[in-house]
Amino acid sequence: MRFNAKDLALLARQPSGCFDKEGELKICRVVRDEKLIEPRERWCRLKGNLLFLMKNKSSEASEVVILERCWIVEFRSKPDVSIVLKFQSGEPDLYLEAASKTDCESWAVALGEANSEGLQNKIQQLRRLIMEIKEERSSDEARKFLPSSQVDSLGEPQFTSIQRIANEPKLEFSLACKDLVAATRDRKLNTFIQVSVVHPAEHILTRYSSTEIVEGTKDPLFLTGVTFPPEYPIYEETKIKLTVYDVKDKSQDTVRTSVLPDHKEPRADIGRSFLGCTTFRVADLVKSKEQQLTLTLRTSDGGKTVGTIEVNLVKMGELEDGETDHVTTDAQDQKCALVHECTATEGISGKDSLPSLSAVLKNPICKLYRFPTSDNKWMRIREQMAETTLSFHVPKELINLHIKEDMRRNQELKDLGELAPHWDNMRKSVIAHCDQMLSMYQDTLAELGKHTGSSFKSSCSKGEKTLEFIPINLHLQRMHVHSPRLKDALYDVITVGAPAAHFQGFKNGGLRKLLSKFEAERRNTGYQCIYYSPENTAKAKEVLSNINHLQPLISSHADLLLSSASQHSPDSLKNSLKMLSEKTELFVHAFKDQLVRSALLALYTARPGCVLKKPAMPRNSAEEGSDLQHQDHPSQIKRQDSIPHHSEYDEEEWDRVWANVGKSLNCVIAMVDRLLEKDNVSSTKEGENDPSAADCKVFHTGGDWYEQLYPLVITLKDCMEEVVTRAKQSMAFVLLQELACGLPQCLMLTLRRDIVFSQALAGLVCGFIIKLHAGLHDQGFLQQLHTVGLLVQYEGLLSTYSEEAGMLEDMAVGISDLQKVMFKVIEAKSEDFLPIITGRREHYVIEVQLPAKMFELLPQEIKEGKLLRMYPVLFNVGINEQQTLAERFGDTTLQENINQENLELLKEYYKLFTEKMPPDCLPHFQEQNDLKGLLENLHQNIQAKKRKNVEIMWLAATICRKLNGVRFTCCKSAKDRTSMSVTLEQCSILRDEHQLHKDFFIRALDCMRSRQTQGALNESDDPETGCLADNKPTSRHFYPVALLLVSSHLLVVWLILSLALLLAKYQ
């Protein structure tokens, strides 16, 4: 074969980017018995099928090797770093030695593909792909030449849908490979499969998901399957491409393939190498008799077979009864043999196939696994992560209620009437500040109304002001377990970022510290305003709420009473009187508190012309009697618990006005009884009189009923109106003092508390709805729900160091505030199943709507509207490196106090549960002694004050599940720490409750934690990847904290360097 030496020399001198591969190798010829002749370093450049050998990178080519009719083998003496080129022509073998194992493998792949035979195979493969594309598009091209009438009759391309159960995934399958061929002999493969989808309408290849990496075997069985959710556009005509990669270093492998173009494969030198690929149609899988396909894996040129891949159709409702005695695991090789699966015909319907859940959950991401059990069977696990529309719905409803409440409060302050100049100026200042806050709430609601796109707030948005009411990364994590010999089970965990006011910051701590500090400052304020305790201000808000609720009801029942009287209907009259009496008694009872009387006196002293040496002070009802005897001695009067007496004020006047309502009601009751008694007497004489006379008497008596009741009802309304006017003014005056004593800090704390509560409430509503739907067929749970209430357990993973301590304080107050939330289940009257929120800041009622068929499954107590109580508890254990700093150099008292307080709440719930629930109510519970033992164990662990005692988390979660509670897991952003905790909990449940094989625990955990199996998620849709640059923990600066803790001097240096970096970052 003749060559032009000048052309070859020119080709060898081209720039580096023109070559397929280049680098330094040790090269020599091999003589008999594998003896080497002095290997020498040469700079090698590969171009096509030509290998240029040069003394150095800048010298001329000294030799050219033509890579035709040759093959590659390993050199026995150095199998990891050397290969040998053998030539069919009989020429001496060429020895090539690389600097590393990775470099050697890369050269072996490049040299193996550098020949004309490989190029011809690639051309043939491309020709086949072109023919397939032409065949698929021929029908579309033919439509251009058809008459328009025929085109219209054809309509849009019709694709065959896959038959499935409602709300179940459209398609699920598992994967396994056999007899994979490595690029070099004796290479231990670390393989994974990338799944791509070719949509029939678009002919575009889209990466969908990947399996986990299986190490050290040529016959990998992948525990991670592939699942397509119900809304995914997949049809029988859809093609699925399976690509197998060999990962050279698992520790360095990431999801970098997701950033590559869809038509390119990753280069071999980035940590993985391409082995082979295959394609199949969905119809071939779903219509196959054995529900299994065995496909041949080929290289990209289509010429070389590198193994086979088995695709098995999976149906969660079908049992796998095939024996799995040959399932083996090797701790070193991680080998698994593929099981021949035998399925039964019995299916199950998805437990989440409920119409109202689709209004709450959206954008589900599903993953499928199959794990062996200890008795050599297979269990299937479907893991689902879903967003919830409640992330925005609940905060918007809540802000709307805040706006209405604040507008009503501002109006009540304006209706106080004329006040002395000091108090009037105070009122104007308070109203001005309240109007500013009201405007801010309205602006926030308007901005939330404009929000489009994702239904959750990613962690990178936690500092945005317009989204501060929205919870961070609120998601449902559901695990559906199908075991061969156990009942199917659902395990739900709500994951959410810790409810906290991130925009306002934590420079001065969180709500727990701020509220305590604010209350202490209020007690020590001057005499510009009157101090009322938090209990009194809460009572004032309750009185105002009762007034606003009961007054219209009493008026309507009074009108119904008059209507019944005009119609002369005894039964209707009795019912109307009964309702009027009940509501009026509640109304009168609301004003029995001493607070109303003392506030009236304080308001009287604030009127113009009333001059006192000191402003009026409220009197606590418990100390009223003891203080009256000291009123003549001003020096003995305490500022916070007494009211100075005023000679012109008649304190008994309020008692008379208040008592007039009861007296007026008694007059109405007496009149109704007298009328009904006369009616009974007249009815007995009806038979003796003639019919026409009886009719006239009835009409005349009816007129008498209305005329006799009307003045009494008007008197009742007038008395009630006078009570309402005085009570409203007095309670509004109490609220004026509360606001005036702490402007503007009081309003800012209210705002912060509203923000934290909004985030916490959104998660609670989501958790309640999910739990209610999952337990609709569990009569024991439903009885527990309306008899005892629902336990809501929050698992906190925040540290007690730096800003996270403030977040924990916010979170503790927000979760505690959930105790004032009650739930009510109602029947939906429309297709809108979103919950309805009513109430005020001190008391909220969440109305959950259910379709009629589901509503009928509820007990009568719940259907009648009984309010369902919540019992939220929080247990926190910091687990990151910042907690190490807090435990060694800081303070963990906050965490210890929170855990101790919530342990008492949990014990209270357990006591209530044992008292009200029968022992056999919940058959799936273990013995009560078991729960009692868990509580005692939890108590001991909390008292032990052990560092990073994660046993507290596990015990609290176990108790919650045994008590049918709702589980929450929270960290700063519901990402890293939360995902690690949830996956560990899920695998522990599989081990303890579903007999997961002990040798597969770590591998199952790796599967669930593998980000590679998440598939083609967008950054905005994946809370684990959104805003990567902004979410890097600042604690990762320079050195590991564990090393720095060895020396306090190193710690100081690290802190100084970290501070310098942070200052440089934000300047």
CA torsion angle 893 897 899 902 (round to 10): -170
Sequence-distant (≥ 6) Cβ neighbours of residue 736 within 8 angstroms: 413, 416, 423, 426, 427, 430
Token pair of 659 as six digits: 């008592």
Q: Which two tokens stand for residue 982?
A: 């949830």
Calpha distance 314→292 (Å, rounded): 9
308-to-244, 298, 352, 685, 786 alpha-carbon distances in Å: 10, 9, 37, 102, 57
The residues that bridge with 951 in the sheet, in sequence order, are none
Q: How many Å apart are CA 874 and CA 811, to the nearest integer?
A: 9
Tokens at residue 230, please? Answer: 């119900």
Distance of CA 167 to the CA centre of its chain: 20
- Give the dihedral sign, CA 101/106/111/117: positive
The three-class DSSP label of residue 301 is coil
How far apart are alpha carbons 161 and 524 in whole angstroms? 73
Burial class (CB in 10 A: 0-12, 13-18, 19+), 856: exposed
Residue bearing tokens 């923000």: 755
Distance CA 781, CA 771 (A): 10
The Cα–Cα gap between 22 and 1050 comes to 45
Contact 327, 297 (CB under 8 A): no
Following DSSP, what letter does each residue of 801-859 receive, concatenated? STHHHHHHHHHHHHHHHGGGEEEEEEE-SSS----EEEEETTEEEEEEEE-HHHHTTS-
Q: Which of 158, 141, 163 is nearest to 237 (CA)?
A: 158
Kindly provide the residue ranges of all beta strands, DSSP E only, lying in 935-1063, ordered along the sequence.
Answer: 966-971
CA 495, 500, 504, 507 dihedral sign is negative
CA–CA gap between residue 1034 and residue 803 (Å, rounded)? 12
Tell me if 356 sits within 8 A of 773, measured CB to CB. yes
- Any idea what the Cα angle at residue 668 is, between residues 663 and 673, rounded to 5°? 125
**Do 46 and 106 contact (CB within 8 A), yes or no?**
no
Output the six-digit token pair for 290. 């054995």
Q: Crossing angle of helices 570-589/534-566, nearest 10°?
A: 160
Q: Which residues contact 361 (CB under 8 A, 6 or more apart)?
A: 352, 386, 387, 388, 389, 476
Question: Can you tell me the distance from the alpha carbon of 109 to that of 105, in angstroms, rounded to the nearest whole number?
Answer: 6
Whole-angstrom Cα distance, residue 553 to residue 584? 9
C-alpha span between 723 and 414 (Å, rounded) = 18
Rounded-to-integer distance, Cα 460 and Cα 462, Å:
6
Annotated catalytic residues are: 971
For residue 23 the two structure tokens come to 């680098």
Nearest CA to 363 out of 287, 474, 269 is that of 474
How far is it, in rounded angstroms, from Cα 956 to Cα 981? 13
Assess contact for 193 and 309: CB atoms under 8 A.
Answer: yes
Nearest to 808 by CA among 1031, 519, 511, 395: 511
Residue 114 neighbours by CB under 8 Å, 6+ apart:
20, 46, 48, 49, 51, 67
> Is the dihedral angle over the CA atoms 853, 858, 863, 865 positive or is it negative?
negative
